[in-house]
């Protein structure tokens, strides 16, 4: 019997175009990917990877097996989902969920309370992860579901092993001190060219978005410091340390920041938004437990 985990690695090599790219997608090292392929080669008795000096590619046999792997893995997910439906109306078991911190704080408590009523026998194991970690973990089978985000101007390459469902688009504010000179709730980003920025942590898609948005507005942000936690960034803004980019659900109700001494400004030229979305492995979305968790998270989204 072929090892399903090794088939996932082989499929990643095919879909991402090489060992190094597959390693990045799976959060593995290239040698670890090569070792998994070598073990699979010993199983089938054929060379699956043409190990060229500059770039390793799948052989014809490797390509054929990867094509079968895609179909087999998807059908296995569908089979598991269908069989889980025979367990009764109320789902049971454990669903492993990866979430970004803002979703974990703002949406997950309401979703879990709802699940306690609709699926009391279902357990949710929560892992706080950024998309760079959670999406590969879903693809590897370590998580069942992940809720992630994507900012304007930083689109993420779609992984063909995953199905994506967009949950909503939220505005991204610039948080400024309460006494800031901005006359209303909207501001052209170019008007903030002279401000000191409390920038998101590097490397992150949020930091990349800030750089690209400011470049589109015609300036480089004057970075006064970095902060990975949006609540801390708001506190620093309130203390007069600079201005910061903050997504809506991390900031508080519209135009009512969760931290005193802060105003929230909508940006224009360019306008900046963030899309929240969920991913599951292809074929796994019909699993009753996963479907219940996904529905609860979607219902918790602000309208």
Q: What's the pLDDT tens digit per position in 158-185? A: 888 889 999 999 999 999 999 888 888 8
Q: How far apart are CA 219 and CA 57, in angstroms?
A: 42
Please give the pLDDT value at position 254: 63
Is residue 15 predicted with pLDDT exceeding 70? yes
Q: What is the pLDDT of residues 32-89, one digit of tens each?
A: 888 888 888 888 888 888 877 666 788 888 888 888 887 877 777 666 666 666 655 6
* Matching fold, domains 4-83 and 89-168+275-300: no
Q: How confident is the model at residue 270 (pLDDT cuts 50, 70, 90)?
A: very high
Longest dimension (CA), the chain: 72
Q: Assess contact for 236 and 198: CB atoms under 8 A.
A: yes
CATH topology of domain 4-83: Arc Repressor Mutant, subunit A (1.10.10)
Which CATH code fits 89-168+275-300?
3.40.190.10
Report domain extents, the chain.
4-83, 89-168+275-300, 171-273
Residues 115-153 pLDDT 10s: 999 889 899 999 999 998 899 899 888 899 999 999 989
Nearest to 288 by CA among 96, 116, 145, 84: 84
**Fold adopted by 171-273:** D-Maltodextrin-Binding Protein; domain 2 (3.40.190)
Query: Is the per-residue pLDDT at 6 higher than 70?
Result: yes
Predicted TM-score of the model (pTM)? 0.76
Mean pLDDT of the chain: 87
Residue 81, pLDDT score: 62
């Amino acid at each position: 019997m072929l090892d399903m985990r090794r088939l996932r690695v082989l499929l990643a090599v095919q879909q991402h175009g090489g060992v190094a790219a597959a390693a990045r997608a799976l959060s593995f090292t290239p040698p670890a990917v090569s070792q998994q392929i070598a073990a699979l080669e010993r199983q089938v008795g054929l060379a699956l990877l043409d190990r060229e000096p500059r770039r390793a590619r799948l052989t014809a046999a490797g390509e054929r097996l990867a094509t079968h792997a895609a179909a087999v893995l998807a059908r296995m997910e569908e089979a598991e989902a269908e069989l889980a439906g025979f367990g009764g109306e109320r789902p049971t078991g454990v669903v492993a969920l990866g979430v970004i911190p803002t979703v974990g704080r703002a949406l997950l408590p309401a979703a879990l309370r709802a699940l306690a009523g609709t699926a009391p026998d279902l357990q949710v194991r929560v892992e706080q992860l950024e998309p760079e970690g959670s999406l590969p973990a879903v693809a590897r089978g370590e998580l069942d579901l992940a809720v992630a985000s994507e900012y304007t101007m930083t689109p993420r390459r779609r992984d063909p092993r995953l199905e994506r469902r967009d949950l909503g688009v939220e505005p991204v504010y610039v948080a400024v001190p309460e006494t800031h000179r901005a006359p209303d709730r909207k501001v052209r980003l170019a008007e903030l060219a002279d401000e000191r920025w409390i920038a998101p942590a590097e490397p992150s898609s949020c930091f990349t978005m800030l750089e690209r948005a400011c470049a589109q507005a015609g300036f480089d942000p004057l970075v006064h410091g970095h902060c990975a936690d949006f609540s801390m960034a708001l506190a620093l803004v309130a203390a007069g340390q600079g201005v910061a980019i903050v997504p809506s659900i991390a900031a508080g109700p519209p135009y009512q920041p969760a931290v005193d001494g802060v105003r929230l400004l909508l940006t224009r030229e360019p306008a900046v938004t963030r899309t929240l979305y969920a991913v599951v492995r292809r074929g796994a979305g019909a699993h009753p437990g996963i479907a219940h968790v996904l529905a609860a998270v979607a219902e918790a989204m602000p309208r």
